[in-house]
Structure 1
Amino acid sequence: MNTLKKIIFIGAIVGMSFSCTSDFEEINTNPNRTTVGKIKTSGMFEPLLYNGANAWMNYSWYWNNELIQFTAFTGGTTRQEHRYFISDGNWQNVWDLYTRYANNALHMQDLSIEQDEKSLEAIAMTLKVLYMSNLTDMFGDVPYSEAFTARKLNGTTKPKFDSQKEVYEHMFADLMAANEIYASKPIFQKPALDGMYKGSMEQWQKFNNSLYLRLLNRVSGRSEMNVGAKMSEILNNPAKFPIFTSNSDNATVIFSGNDPYRSQFSDSNEGSFTSSGRKLTEQLIKMTVLTDNNDNQVYEDPRLSIFGKKNPNLSVNPNNIWKGTIAGVSEQDQSAADRGSSWLNAAVFVRSDAPGTFMDYAEVQFILAEAALKGTIPGGESAAKTYYENAVEASVEKWAEMGQYSQIPVSIQSTDITALLTSDLASWDAASNKEELIGNQKYLSLFFIGMEAYHEYRRTGYPELTIGNGANFNDYILPTRFAYPTTTMATNNENAQEALQRMGGENNMKTPVWWSKQAIEEGK
């Protein structure tokens, strides 16, 4: 991790591949700056992994939770993402983060080839796809085939924007290539560097192929992507394409808690993390709490007391109940909506050793449940039910491990999981719309996993969200994508304009991305 300062420089050159930068020559000739070629491949790995996991957590807290109504910042008007007040500066920050990490992953891949580090070559390809998938899922068409080539012979500072279909095809090819390298069982030379899998190529291979399933599922609404055949190839060849089979395979980065291996929220406190701003929403509460005919809360999802905690102030919460604020509430109604609202569970999340998760076993099982239900893979409703119940169980068990950190420790037993699966919140047999049930429970399982719940909502339309009366900044439309930043439009305008024309919309937050339910229904 002593290479963290070096990696800051590496990230700075991302602008070369996506736009012209004023300090292009200075970056490449200043003898006081470390050049990429002088960094050992292993020196790039830790920042990509640990800093990437922190970025994942931060984006969950800052963006995903607000957009998808897990939380709403109601502590004033300094943060209004839940009202869709999102500016060009925000678009730029999101664009820069994903491109910076993807660029660094590509550098790591290039160096690993030069230095014959096959294990790091495969990992670099997996991580590049991880970051680039989020870039395209946030913005739509993006550079991929020509991205990050400015430093190379015949490279360009104005890369073409590949269609999202093409981006996904490139990502599939990269994941397949990485899988072949993992299968050769290369040696990870410094296992202590790997805070996720301790250098296990078998587990990295499982992550790679599970990520492939995630991306196949993302484009499953597009028949031309032949998702069924690709999923079946994976599932029918477990030796060749191993995937997550339990929570022990989860792509979770473990922080020691000692500097610099510290969680994103190490230096936060309950006030800055939740109580003075971000509150749980009524959307989350209604999906995790059951009430009787008299509006008494009679049952709650066992994960809820780990996700959050009830407002402890009895003057505003005299009945000691779970209450959510209203996402997108207007400024004039904000105070009333916020009164007595529940908080995020800071004791669980605000720890120096709080882990960061890129993907988990529960998500894989939800993917297979949906695929079986829709006939994308064999098994039908019977298999779908098994996958679904495996998914819910895995999610609860994952969060159960975090219950010990709650101010009042939360213990979850197998009987609690059974109770959830037979409750009206999660019962397969009681659900009239199985597809919606899968979507709703997957939404809950994706709590604090990057931007995944936001991506999934745009793909499926689940859960059914209510847009608040104050969400007028995007004309009461939950952002369908983020717009290309002004810098990108200025420095690579021709290619960006071509991408917008191909996507069939303007450079705003109302144009649907190609794989989304909206785009498919509109025939775009």
Structure 2
Amino acid sequence: MKTLKKIALIIGIMVLTWACTDNFEETNTDPNRTIVGDIQASGMFEPLLYNGANAWQNYTWFWNNELIQFTAFTGGTTRQEHRYFISDANWQSVWNFYARYANNALHMHNLSIEQEDPSLEAISITLKVLYLSNLTDMFGDIPYSEAFLALSEEGVVKPRFDSQEEVYRQMFADLEEANNIYATNPIFIKPSLDGMYGGSMDQWRKFNNSLYLRLLNRVSGRSSMNSGDKMTEMLNNPSKYPVFTSNEDNATVVFSGNDPYRSQFDNTNEGSFTSSGRKLTEQLIKMTVLTNESDEQIYEDPRLAIYGKKNPNTDPNLPLVWKGTVAGCTESEQSDVDRGTSWLNAAVFCRADAPGFFMDFAEVQFIFAEAALKGLIPGGESAARQYYESAVAASIEKWAPLGQYSETPVVISSEDISAFLASDLAAWDSLDNKEELIGNQKFLALFWVGMEAYHEYRRTGYPELTIGDGAIYNDFILPTRFAYPNTTMATNGENAQEALSRMGGENNMKTPVWWSKEAIE
């Protein structure tokens, strides 16, 4: 019996703590049981890229938008994430996703070394960091140095949790290693497999280093990380650290629309996607629409009609207007606040060939804008303004081509972008607090980019969000992290508990992560 219990424990740890793959059936059913060399590293690339991008979109829709008040499910009570009703099963699912994909990226890395494929060796490192950075940003301290070693020579079945500072330092080292490999100009053997960059190592290298900037920015509030020095080094050495320089470099996965390269929300109807549940919020509308003294809507962010659509089921005698529902509303308020509220634009997002966004040029420009404003990189406020305006323009230009898919096509001209940058919504002089202005516009630009808006809100505190009266499930506190799943606490409790003690809190959604504004203050 003791032996059986021990076996069950090890299996539980392997499956649930590090999350072996469960959706790479055709190429790699279980990487923890595949002998290196049995399959080609290239056989793992497409699932990592396409399935990962689809999950990224789903997390945007299901988690990020509800937590950060882009949308709120006020069409019923079957989903209450906007009220912070989040269970252990949710924590487990999120933990498993990021760990599973990181594990498979590491397995592709081992295969690529065995098969002498440096292109996939570098890409696997970039993808591993992409997924593990989100795991640590969602949960705090995580296994990194000892992760995924259960069936290695070390046989680590209960990995220690590295502090988030240690995790970030290791991710930086990994991204440096990947950058050096990309610098050797390896050849991507099968470019047709790559639905993001067509096998271009130059663009993968830019993504790797732009991701590096994202993570440097994330921990920039911690002076011990010397983020500004590294950003300045990268900025001054573009040949050594190339980063995104236009929307042509965006880390965007292009789905052909043909099986199996279809977007997550293909064949999703408007009701299940938005009109029966997830509606645009007051928070989003107030940040994207200007009204006059008579409360008439007189101007809007040119992206809004691409992000969303006005509710057509309103009084035909009244003009259609943008109306947001109340995130975190009570159940008794729900019917009133939901009436007539605007929807997500299903015509744009629910297409077989709708793209998946990992990162874009606009984000890089926002990072430089903030860094210049704070004196982390040279240039001061003048440079900050230039980076900021470049960032806003790049975001609108990224979304503009998707306007063609709206039921009423949206066309955005260069004059429209200039008008927006001169408007009270986005003009550099519209707010005295330039840090807030940058944070607000970055928030809008991060629409539909994974969990990034949620991460950035916890780091900066922008935009100012209003917590609804119905957000009772976390005592009216927007979740500061996700809690470690019960399975992790049961199978690796000693290490997890040590991590919680180091983070200074309990295993709940109120303990701030190390890089957050709350933890630093």
- Is the counterpart of residue 129 in structure 1 residue 129 in structure 2? yes
2:255 — aligned with what?
Answer: 255
Letter in 2 for 1:16: M
Q: Pairwise mapping of residues 14-163 of structure 1 onto structure 2 (< 5 A)?
A: 15-16=13-14, 19=17, 35-37=34-36, 38-163=38-163
Would the aligned equivalents of 2:273 and 2:346 in 1 still touch at CA under 8 Å? yes
Would the aligned equivalents of 2:19 and 2:100 in 1 still touch at CA under 8 Å? no
Specify whether residues 157 and 466 from structure 1 end up closer, same or farther in structure 2 by C-alpha distance, changes over 3 A only: same
CA deviations on 1:99-126 (whole Å, 9 max, x unpaired) are 0000000000011001101000000000
1:218 — aligned with what?
Answer: 218
1:336 — aligned with what?
Answer: 336
Specify whether residues 20 and 133 from structure 1 end up closer, same or farther in structure 2 by C-alpha distance, changes over 3 A only: closer
Q: RMSD value over aligned CA atoms?
A: 1.8
Specify whether residues 366 and 84 from structure 1 end up closer, same or farther in structure 2 by C-alpha distance, changes over 3 A only: same
Would the aligned equivalents of 2:19 and 2:99 in 1 still touch at CA under 8 Å? no
Specify whether residues 36 and 284 from structure 1 end up closer, same or farther in structure 2 by C-alpha distance, changes over 3 A only: farther
> How far apart are 1:318 and its partner, in Å?
2.9
Please identify, of 146-155 and 312-321, the stretch whose mean Cα deviation from structure 2 is larger: 312-321
> How far apart are 1:19 and its partner, in Å?
4.0
The 2-side partners of 1:17 and 1:182 are apart by 33
Unaligned runs of 5+ in 1: 1-12, 23-29
Letter in 1 for 2:491: T
1:501 — aligned with what?
Answer: 501
2:333 partner SS: helix
1:287 partner SS: helix
Would the aligned equivalents of 2:325 and 2:338 in 1 still touch at CA under 8 Å? yes
Letter in 1 for 2:185: K
Would the aligned equivalents of 1:17 and 1:148 in 2 still touch at CA under 8 Å? no
1:298 partner SS: strand
Letter in 1 for 2:393: E
CA deviations on 1:363-418 (whole Å, 9 max, x unpaired) are 00000000000000000000000000000000000000100000110000011101
Would the aligned equivalents of 2:392 and 2:441 in 1 still touch at CA under 8 Å? yes
1:160 partner SS: coil
Specify whether residues 316 and 473 from structure 1 end up closer, same or farther in structure 2 by C-alpha distance, changes over 3 A only: farther
1:200 — aligned with what?
Answer: 200
> How far apart are 1:431 and its partner, in Å?
1.9
1:393 partner SS: helix
Specify whether residues 312 and 293 from structure 1 end up closer, same or farther in structure 2 by C-alpha distance, changes over 3 A only: same
- Is the counterpart of residue 241 in structure 1 residue 246 in structure 2? no
Would the aligned equivalents of 1:141 and 1:161 in 2 still touch at CA under 8 Å? yes
> How far apart are 1:39 and its partner, in Å?
1.6
The 1-side partners of 2:257 and 2:302 are apart by 27
Q: Pairwise mapping of residues 353-432 of structure 1 onto structure 2 (< 5 A)?
A: 353-432=353-432
2:412 partner SS: coil
The 2-side partners of 1:483 and 1:65 are apart by 19
Identity among equivalent pairs (%):
75
Specify whether residues 34 and 267 from structure 1 end up closer, same or farther in structure 2 by C-alpha distance, changes over 3 A only: farther
The 1-side partners of 2:504 and 2:232 are apart by 33
CA deviations on 1:440-491 (whole Å, 9 max, x unpaired) are 0000000000000000000000000000110000000000000000000000
Letter in 2 for 1:320: L
The 2-side partners of 1:94 and 1:112 are apart by 27
Would the aligned equivalents of 2:73 and 2:80 in 1 still touch at CA under 8 Å? yes
Would the aligned equivalents of 1:214 and 1:367 in 2 still touch at CA under 8 Å? yes
The 1-side partners of 2:127 and 2:155 are apart by 22
The 2-side partners of 1:516 and 1:55 are apart by 25
> How far apart are 1:299 and its partner, in Å?
0.5
CA deviations on 1:237-263 (whole Å, 9 max, x unpaired) are 100100000000000000000010000
CA deviations on 1:414-446 (whole Å, 9 max, x unpaired) are 111011101111000232110000000000000
Letter in 2 for 1:59: Y
The 2-side partners of 1:17 and 1:127 are apart by 21
1:64 partner SS: helix
The 2-side partners of 1:453 and 1:305 are apart by 20
Please identify, of 34-43 and 177-186, the stretch whose mean Cα deviation from structure 2 is larger: 34-43
Would the aligned equivalents of 2:271 and 2:277 in 1 still touch at CA under 8 Å? yes
> How far apart are 1:271 and its partner, in Å?
0.7
1:479 — aligned with what?
Answer: 479
Letter in 1 for 2:34: T
> How far apart are 1:316 and its partner, in Å?
8.4
> How far apart are 1:155 and its partner, in Å?
2.6
Would the aligned equivalents of 2:17 and 2:96 in 1 still touch at CA under 8 Å? no
> How far apart are 1:15 and its partner, in Å?
4.8
- Is the counterpart of residue 443 in structure 1 residue 439 in structure 2? no
1:307 — aligned with what?
Answer: 307
TM-score (norm 1): 0.94
> How far apart are 1:313 and its partner, in Å?
1.2
1:167 — aligned with what?
Answer: 167
2:480 partner SS: coil
1:5 — aligned with what?
Answer: none
> How far apart are 1:154 and its partner, in Å?
1.3
The 2-side partners of 1:252 and 1:465 are apart by 29
Would the aligned equivalents of 1:14 and 1:148 in 2 still touch at CA under 8 Å? no
The 2-side partners of 1:397 and 1:325 are apart by 28
2:72 partner SS: strand
- Is the counterpart of residue 229 in structure 1 residue 229 in structure 2? yes
1:283 — aligned with what?
Answer: 283
> How far apart are 1:36 and its partner, in Å?
4.9
Would the aligned equivalents of 1:17 and 1:158 in 2 still touch at CA under 8 Å? no
Letter in 1 for 2:353: D
Specify whether residues 487 and 381 from structure 1 end up closer, same or farther in structure 2 by C-alpha distance, changes over 3 A only: same
CA deviations on 1:302-354 (whole Å, 9 max, x unpaired) are 00000000000123893311000000000000000011100000000000000
Letter in 2 for 1:103: N
The 1-side partners of 2:439 and 2:253 are apart by 26
Query: How many residues of Structure 1 are paired with residues of Structure 2 in the alignment?
Result: 502
Moved beyond 6 Å, runs of 4+? none
Would the aligned equivalents of 1:72 and 1:281 in 2 still touch at CA under 8 Å? yes
